[in-house]
Structure 1
Amino acid sequence: MRLSLLLCCVSDKSNSDGEPDQSAKPQSKTARDVKSNLEAEPYQSSQALALFQKYADPDDPPVIGPAGLEQLCNEAAIPMDGAMPLILAWQLDSKEMGKFTKDEWLKGTSKLNYGFV
């Protein structure tokens, strides 16, 4: 899994007529939904920073802590009990388990954007 799969913005839900489905309840995005959105919108470092700020610890803003990591994984449909959070930490070169510093996040997402992993 590449972290770039997490950097999506909008899911386009349509009915069988091609019209937006107004009755559909908001649903959590799957990796497939996220990947299809990436094809339409390229990665931007400003999105990575906004995503970091969304999950940052309110008591320690330059860090995504365990609660933020859990929220990130839940919203990205990444099971917390599997290896995927560990792979994410490895891809971002995290120095401490369950935490990402702002610097690690920005360097890691940049590295993933250019496919050096």
Structure 2
Amino acid sequence: VVGVQSGDWEIDKGNTVASAMLREHPDMKALLCGNDNMALGAVAAIKTAGMAGKVKVVGYDNIAAIKPMLADGRVLGTVDQYAAKQAVFGIELALKALKNKTPQSALPAVYETPITLVTR
């Protein structure tokens, strides 16, 4: 790991951060992006740096714009966290806690929800 930097969840900032990292570490092998928007920016930075096919990119969110890049190999993978269902997961947990009269202090500090690795 050569560094951890924020791309502020945005394409342009992801591009700027990835470009700087690629200049500083020209032998970099992969970029793990906290969301697919930053991954889109990273893919553009890799292309601009003339490093297409040399640096692997992984994103997170499984947005529609990432699918063609998965198909052609510009992105190695993404993670589907079922964002549209996250409110449902929270409501289900709350309803179960209410039904069982579970005090808030007894609820888990972290509630894991399903994710799926999406690749080509």
TM over 0.5: no
Q: Aligning the two structures, in what range does the TM-score lie when normalised by the shorter sequence?
A: under 0.3
Bigger relative contact order, structure 1 or 2 (CA pairs below 8 A, ≥6 apart): 1
TM-score (norm 1): 0.22
Structure with a larger share of its residues in strand: 2
Larger Rg: 2
